[in-house]
Amino acid sequence: MVVGDIATGTEVLVIGAGPGGYVAAIRAAQQGLDTTLVEKDAYGGTCLNYGCIPSKALITSADLAHEAGNAEEMGIHADPVVDMSQLRDWKDGVVNQLTGGVEKLCKANGVNLVEGTARFKDENAVRIAHGGEGQGSETIEFEHCIIATGSRVIQIPGFDFADEQVWSSRDALAADTVPDRLVVVGGGYIGMELSTTFAKLGSEVTVVEMLDDILPGYESDVARVVRKRAEDLGIDMNFGEGASGWREDDDGIMVTTETEDGEENEYRADKVLVAVGRSPVTDTMELENAGLEADERGFLSVDDFRRTDVEHIYAVGDIVADTPMLAHVASKEGIVAAEHIAGEPVAFDSQAVPAAVFTDPEIGTVGMTEDEAEEMGFTPLVGQMPFTASGRALTTGHADGFVRIVADDDSGFILGAQIVGPEASELVAEVALAIEMGATLEDVASTIHTHPTLAEAVMEAAENALGQAIHTLNR
């Protein structure tokens, strides 16, 4: 033990206070386990502080301003002015309310909170280095450990986030001015959410994507609806190009891209936002001292209980291999890990994991697509309801997109859904529940849905699969 180092013990040590870590810590404490939560930055992690929450606050504000300024068809004439400084203060207030709430919830449930950076000494202890000069360190010995250190943005060669002109998603969400011209590198969900947001705030937006379409991983007809809307907003799409560098001149910056054939293109901008994904944070903890080794991409392998190769050490969230980087997945994994430590009969089940993209329009998906169902040996039965046939969608002025439900033709069990349209992030929850409960098309179709609501489109999609839809033509 070094001078200034003190040693304490705990039953459950949780490293990282993001959606996976703080939820795991609270649940472990609720199970009567002595629990310690270590966080080096801010309670709530990236999601609450620099990702999910501030981005949705910015998206909501941009949507409101854009709708108010583009509602002449409804007889509304306005020219909104967005005060970005005031908007940022409001957004930060929302974030502070939530992160402060996380800290209070942890304390109220009896979780011991420790600020600092954790590194493994061995498989039963970590050393916590406290921030600030003279703060020292301490050793915490544990019976069980849950690693929940999350992820960081990926930086590409030639684009250093330390440069003022180069933005990460975190920088974009902290902006107090709107750039006149913005180049976005990456057409994934983060890139497209922020592209549409800044376009609505007044930026001239150019998207550069290496692949041949936006939103990889989503079906082409789903991505097509979002792409068309983005183009209607004036966003310039450029596919098959990778960003290779940038330079500054008297008129802002020039971003250079290159195709597979070596053809170069240049795009004028004031800022360039790099949004090409995230990578797990597992390289800061000296995992080897605990007998752990991440794979070549930095992920840790776990079993159904979220145990690593060292069975009293668990991993949850963005650092886990073969699970999506989603806050709600991390939270569920945290609950499973904590309850398994407490001896509860639990396991992680990924049958019904919904995902949402907060573009315009939104996307909500869960379970299998039609192709995936076929690959799994099912005979898929598919129903679809366009929002152009939804009275409620039409009254909102947002009728692009559809609800599609995939079921097993033999049993009627619902296998998945793809929704693109207004409030898709909310609507997908009904189908997630249906899959979790083993509901059939008949169960959803025979459930009376409130009129007029967007949720009726879910019912109509189920009816369409059965050949019984009223408000759309049956297949």
> Is there a single domain that holds both residue 147 and residue 14?
yes
Mean pLDDT of all residues in 361-369: 98
Q: Give the whole-angstrom CA distance, residue 18 versus residue 316.
A: 10
Across residues 399-410, what is the average pLDDT? 98
Determine the average pLDDT of the residues in 242-265: 96
Confidence of residue 2 (pLDDT cuts 50, 70, 90): very low
Question: pLDDT of 310-354, one tens digit each?
Answer: 999 999 999 999 999 999 999 999 999 999 999 999 999 888 999
Asked, for residue 264, whether it belongs to a domain, the answer is: yes
Lookup result for tokens 């070094």: 2
Q: Mind telling me the catalytic residues?
A: 451
Q: Is pLDDT of 469 > 60?
A: yes
Report the Cα 206 to chain-centroid distance in Å: 23
% residues pLDDT > 90 (the chain)? 96
**Residue 106 sits in the same domain as residue 193:** no
Domain with residue 409: its CATH number is: 3.30.390.30
Mean pLDDT of the chain: 96
pLDDT, tens only, 51-104: 999 999 999 999 999 999 999 999 999 999 999 999 999 999 999 999 999 999
Q: What is the pLDDT of residue 122?
A: 97
Q: Domain end: 276, 293, 318, which one? A: 276
pTM: 0.95
pLDDT of residue 7: 79
Mean pLDDT of 255-278: 97
Instruction: Taking residues 230-250, report their average pLDDT.
Output: 97
At 132 the pLDDT is 60
> Which residues on neighbouring strands pair with residue 421, listed in sequence order?
362
For residues 108 and 216, membership in a common domain is answered with no
Domain annotation covers residue 225: yes
Same domain? 205 vs 236 = yes
Q: How much is the pLDDT for 1?
A: 35
Do 294 and 280 form a contact (C-beta atoms < 8 A)? yes
Of 287, 313, 342, the residue that ends a domain is 342
pLDDT band at 201 (very low <50, low <70, confident <90, very high): very high
Residues 285 and 137 in one domain: yes
Structural domain boundaries enclosing 192: 166-276
Q: Do 180 and 216 belong to one domain?
A: yes
Say yes or no: 148 and 258 in one domain. Answer: no
pLDDT of residue 134: 56
| Residue 347 within a domain | no
Residue 474 lies in a domain: no
pLDDT at 369 over 60: yes
pLDDT above 70 coverage of the chain, percent: 98
Domain assignment present for residue 237? The answer is yes
Q: Are residues 211 and 103 in the same domain?
A: no
Q: Are residues 14 and 138 in the same domain?
A: yes
Q: How many domains does the chain have?
A: 3
For the segment 405-411, the average pLDDT, to the nearest whole number, is 98
pLDDT band at residue 475 using 50, 70 and 90 as cut-offs: confident
Note the pLDDT tens digit of each residue in 128-155.
998 765 568 899 999 999 999 999 999 9
Question: Which of 226, 258, 276 represents a domain boundary (last residue)?
Answer: 276
- 133 and 201: one domain? no
Residue 392, pLDDT > 70, answer: yes
Q: Mean pLDDT lowest for which of 119-133, 188-202, 352-366, 371-385?
A: 119-133
Determine, yes or no, domain membership for 161.
no
Do 124 and 238 share a structural domain?
no
User: For the purposes of burial, counting CB atoms within 10 Å of the CB of 49, is it exposed (0-12), middle (13-18) or buried (19 or more)?
Assistant: buried
Under the banding of pLDDT at 50, 70 and 90, the label for residue 3 is: very low
Provide mean pLDDT across the span 288-292. Answer: 98
CATH number at residue 221: 3.50.50.60
Return the residue matching tokens 């974030």. 95
Residue 242 falls inside a structural domain: yes
Q: What is the pLDDT of residues 426-468, one digit of tens each?
A: 999 999 999 999 999 999 999 999 999 999 999 999 999 999 9
Torsion of CA 273, 19, 214, 164, to 10 degrees: 0
Same domain, 272 and 284: no
